[in-house]
């Protein structure tokens, strides 16, 4: 008996939720529902993995008539205990009765009733679920058939397509829902709230790019309420160019989208000249659709001048001088080498807020003017972190990264969470490139079934950077080793050097993804106690197009790394590598991953068999949640063919299963 009492006391001590649960049930017995709800919520916070607490909280909320809050708690309980069929029915009925986001809720209710109907639950529960599913599904099926008949036999109308889309979404016929929402919007583009429903259907159909296009189109121009809701659903980052283009395919008459894309391409053209032609086309679209947009017309005129299309430029700029506001007109006068109207300019600057002038200049691509206005605004209001953030981006686009880093550092301490978050990301990305002394560490343990061995590679490198100087001296310690250390049919160094290599070198700044480097050092073999001079150097290149594994969105990607490396220890050989991966980046349940197909080529100057081969095969790369962003686990199944078989003791082709873990950081 004493043992049982001790066990009961121990269970109470280890159950953090015991005390608030006791109070909750006591309040329930006294019908004090408010205190019961508060105690259940406290218990749920202390034991977040217990479904029974959420269930009791949900039933208590139902007693107070708060069915929406009860539905949320039932949903959380279902997530924690998906096998509780009775709980699933409660949640499904509340979803079916919900008024907010009705089509999506009814679709969820239908899915749950179907799942419970086909489960191994109690026959009575399954019968209830089957009847409920029939009551939902049959009217949906009938309604879809009726509206499809209407659309097929008469001229499509917005009402018919919209009703068809909503019924199809509720029945999980998502392809039909997407097609119908899109067609309804094309018939009545003023109803921009339809874009929000299209985005929801695209998301359910596992098409994040389609959902992004619909939200982006809804967020620019038109219905204010729809635009506000769309902006809340958009990711915190700024949209990419291809996302603007997808949104314009959906909503080609959206002038605000055309205008924003034009200025984005213009700002990018300072680093990528090819984007200027695209910016010119977009400004032409803006001017055609909005003839009174004189700021865009002035920018198009300047682009025409840069292309030596003086006749077309003069026509546009003269119209700007005649009709635009004084500030914009003076831009046109300067471009045509005409005297500016100083009185009007001073008057305009006196009337307008320098922050507003900076915003206009920044959006128009006049970065030096934007810098001047933002600096004046910062002097007038030094506590406005949003101005500091704009100064950071402006200096960054003007290639003054040291000053940009200073302003980002100020903005990241802002009380405004959105400003601080954006500035923190920019500061973190820019800081490594601006440090005078930078230390990078990388490690790459790798298992290979081809050699039945576990390899380890790594490097610690401290780099010294001088401002505006393209060469960077550095000191490094490399490691290369493996568990087996030796194979019976090849030289030990051809598996790994089993050594630490201490060296000093020099590397160029990266240009378009490429860099040249050379180092000299001393290798110390921990296996044989040998020492040797080590000289190595070469060219390295890397580039990723599309959605990398660290990006905030999914999508296709192409990754290329290429190295040409001279290594004295391998008989003064020059080894060339080209490793390429093409695939798709996925974001699911908080896990970032990539599926890809690899194609690799390795050749060397001495034509040694172990350094001359091609290989290809599928792979997957995963970033484990909760770990630093630079940690990736990669698995590959490779089939390879040797290009040189002289002195090759192995088969002319090989299969290899590789598992590697990459980790790197910079200080």
CA pair distance 359, 366, nearest whole angstrom: 10
Residue 349 pLDDT class (50, 70, 90 cuts): very low
Question: CB-based contacts of 311: which residues, under 8 Å, 6+ apart?
Answer: none
| Helix/strand/coil percent split, the chain, to 5 | 50, 25, 25
Task: Name 588's bridge partners.
Answer: 591
Domain 437-467+484-490+544-666 matching CATH 2.40.160: the answer reads yes
CA pair distance 430, 353, nearest whole angstrom: 30
Residue 77 CA from chain centroid, whole number = 30
Is the per-residue pLDDT at 605 higher than 60? yes
Please compute Rg for the chain using Cα positions: 32
| pLDDT score of 496 | 66
CA pair distance 193, 225, nearest whole angstrom: 8
Closest to 482 measured CA to CA, from 442, 520, 455, 512: 455
Is the per-residue pLDDT at 633 higher than 90? yes
Q: Tokens 């204010």 map to which residue?
A: 224
Handedness of CA 327, 333, 335, 338 (dihedral sign): negative
The answer to whether residues 53 and 93 touch, using CB atoms and an 8 Å cutoff, is no
Is the per-residue pLDDT at 7 higher than 50? no
**Of 56 and 325, the one with more pLDDT:** 56
Question: CB-based contacts of 636: which residues, under 8 Å, 6+ apart?
Answer: 598, 617, 618, 619, 656, 657, 658
Q: Say what the pTM is.
A: 0.46
| In 451-513, beta strands by DSSP E | 453-464, 471-482, 499-508
| pLDDT score of 433 | 62
CA pair distance 661, 309, nearest whole angstrom: 55
Q: What is the SS3 string spanning 602-648?
A: EEECCCCHHHCEEEEEEEEEEECCCCCCCCEEEEEEEEEEECCCCCC
The answer to whether residues 278 and 288 touch, using CB atoms and an 8 Å cutoff, is no
| Assigned token pair, 600 | 């690799």
| Assigned token pair, 196 | 């929000």
Percent of the chain whose pLDDT exceeds 90: 16
Percent of the chain whose pLDDT exceeds 70: 89
Would you tell me the crossing angle of helices 102-117 and 85-97 to the nearest 10 degrees? 150
CA pair distance 413, 37, nearest whole angstrom: 38
| pLDDT score of 33 | 87
To which H or E segment does residue 161 belong? Answer: helix 158-170
Q: What pLDDT, in 10s, does the model give residues 234-268?
A: 888 888 888 888 988 888 888 778 777 877 777 77
Is the per-residue pLDDT at 428 higher than 80? no
| pLDDT score of 15 | 65
Q: Tokens 């999914």 map to which residue?
A: 554
| pLDDT score of 488 | 40
| Assigned token pair, 221 | 């121009």
| pLDDT score of 435 | 67
Alpha helix ranges (H) inside 307-416:
310-323, 326-335, 342-351, 354-364, 367-380, 385-397, 401-411
Is the per-residue pLDDT at 269 higher than 70? no
Is the per-residue pLDDT at 400 higher than 50? yes
Is the per-residue pLDDT at 596 higher than 90? yes
Residue 374 CA from chain centroid, whole number = 29
| pLDDT score of 609 | 79
**Of 617 and 105, the one with more pLDDT:** 617
CA pair distance 270, 429, nearest whole angstrom: 20
CA pair distance 46, 615, nearest whole angstrom: 53
For the ranges 123-137, 339-353, 410-424, 634-648, the lowest mean pLDDT is seen at 339-353
| Assigned token pair, 511 | 């240009």
Q: Tokens 């050097």 map to which residue?
A: 497
Q: Is 558 helix (H, G, I), strand (E, B) or coil?
A: strand
Q: What pLDDT, in 10s, does the model give residues 132-176?
A: 888 888 888 899 999 998 888 888 899 889 999 989 988 888 999
The answer to whether residues 228 and 246 touch, using CB atoms and an 8 Å cutoff, is no
Q: What pLDDT, in 10s, does the model give residues 488-525?
A: 444 434 456 788 899 999 988 777 778 898 999 998 88
Task: Indicate the Cα dihedral angle 145, 146, 147, 153, nearest 10°.
Answer: 100
**Of 24 and 350, the one with more pLDDT:** 24
| pLDDT score of 283 | 78
Q: What pLDDT, in 10s, does the model give residues 532-579?
A: 888 999 999 888 887 777 766 678 889 999 999 998 887 788 999 999
CA pair distance 359, 514, nearest whole angstrom: 35
Q: Taking all residues of the chain, what is their mean pLDDT, rounded to a whole number?
A: 82
Distances (CA, A) of 300 to 207, 265, 297: 35, 13, 5
Q: What pLDDT, in 10s, does the model give residues 455-481?
A: 888 999 988 876 667 788 999 999 888
> What is the pLDDT averaged over residues 580-604?
87
| pLDDT score of 637 | 95
Is the per-residue pLDDT at 50 higher than 50? yes
> What is the pLDDT averaged over residues 402-426?
84
| Assigned token pair, 413 | 């301490």
Q: Tokens 């980052």 map to which residue?
A: 237
| 239: DSSP letter | P
């Amino acid at each position: 008996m004493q043992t049982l009492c001790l066990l009961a006391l121990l269970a109470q001590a280890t159950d953090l939720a015991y005390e608030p649960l006791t109070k909750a049930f006591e309040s329930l017995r006294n019908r004090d529902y408010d205190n019961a709800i508060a105690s259940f919520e406290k218990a749920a916070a202390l034991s977040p993995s217990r479904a029974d607490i959420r269930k009791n909280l949900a039933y208590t909320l139902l007693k107070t008539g708060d069915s929406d809050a009860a539905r949320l708690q039932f949903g959380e309980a279902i997530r924690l205990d998906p096998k509780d069929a009775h709980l699933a029915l409660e949640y499904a009925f509340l979803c079916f009765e919900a008024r907010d986001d009705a089509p999506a809720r009814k679709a969820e209710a239908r899915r749950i009733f179907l799942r419970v109907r086909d489960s191994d639950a109690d026959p009575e529960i399954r019968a209830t679920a089957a009847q409920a599913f029939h009551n939902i599904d049959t009217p949906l099926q009938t309604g879809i058939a009726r509206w499809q008949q209407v659309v097929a036999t008469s001229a499509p109308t917005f009402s018919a397509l919209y009703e068809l889309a909503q019924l199809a979404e509720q029945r999980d016929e998502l392809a039909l829902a997407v097609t119908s929402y899109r067609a309804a919007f094309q018939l009545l583009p003023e109803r921009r709230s339809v874009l929000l429903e299209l985005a929801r259907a695209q998301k359910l159909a596992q098409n994040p790019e389609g959902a992004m296009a619909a939200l982006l189109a809804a967020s620019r121009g038109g219905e204010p309420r729809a635009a506000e809701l769309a902006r809340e659903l958009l990711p915190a980052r700024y949209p990419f160019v291809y996302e603007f283009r997808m949104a314009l395919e959906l909503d080609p008459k959206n002038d605000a989208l055309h205008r924003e894309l034009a200025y984005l391409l213009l700002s990018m053209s300072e680093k990528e000249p090819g984007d200027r032609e695209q910016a010119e086309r977009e400004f032409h679209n803006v001017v055609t659709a909005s003839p009174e947009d004189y700021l865009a017309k002035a920018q198009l005129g300047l682009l025409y001048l840069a292309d030596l299309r003086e006749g077309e430029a003069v026509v546009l700029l003269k119209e700007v001088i005649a009709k635009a506001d004084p500030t914009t007109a003076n831009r046109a006068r300067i471009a045509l080498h005409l005297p500016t109207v100083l009185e009007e300019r001073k008057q305009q600057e006196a009337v307008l807020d320098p922050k507003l002038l900076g915003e206009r200049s920044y959006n128009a691509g006049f970065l030096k003017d934007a810098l001047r206005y933002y600096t004046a605004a910062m002097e007038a209001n030094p506590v406005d972190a949003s101005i500091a953030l704009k100064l950071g981006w402006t200096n960054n686009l003007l290639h003054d990264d040291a000053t940009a880093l200073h302003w980002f550092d100020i903005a990241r301490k802002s009380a405004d969470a959105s400003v601080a978050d954006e500035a923190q990301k920019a500061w973190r990305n820019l800081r490594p490139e601006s440090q005078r002394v930078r230390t990078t560490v990388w490690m790459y343990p790798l298992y290979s079934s081809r050699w039945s061995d576990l390899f380890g590679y790594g490097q610690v490198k401290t780099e010294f950077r001088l401002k505006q100087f393209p060469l960077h001296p550095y000191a490094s310690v490399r490691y290369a080793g493996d568990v087996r250390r030796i194979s019976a049919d090849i030289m030990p160094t051809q598996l790994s050097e089993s050594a630490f290599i201490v060296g000093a070198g020099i590397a160029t700044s990266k240009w378009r993804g490429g860099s040249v480097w050379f180092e000299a050092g001393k290798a110390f073999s921990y296996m044989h106690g040998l020492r040797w001079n080590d000289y190595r150097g070469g060219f390295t290149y890397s580039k990723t197009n599309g959605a990398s594994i660290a990006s905030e969105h999914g999508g296709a990607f192409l990754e290329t790394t290429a190295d040409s490396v001279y290594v004295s220890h391998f008989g003064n050989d020059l080894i060339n590598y080209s490793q390429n991966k093409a695939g798709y980046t996925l974001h699911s349940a908080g896990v970032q991953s990539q599926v890809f197909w690899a194609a690799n080529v390795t050749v060397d100057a001495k034509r040694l068999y172990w350094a001359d081969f091609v290989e290809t095969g599928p792979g997957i790369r995963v970033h484990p949640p909760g770990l630093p962003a630079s940690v990736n686990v990669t698995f590959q199944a490779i089939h390879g063919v040797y290009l040189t078989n002289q002195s090759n003791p192995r088969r002319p082709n090989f299969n290899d299963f590789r598992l590697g873990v990459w980790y790197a950081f910079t200080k």
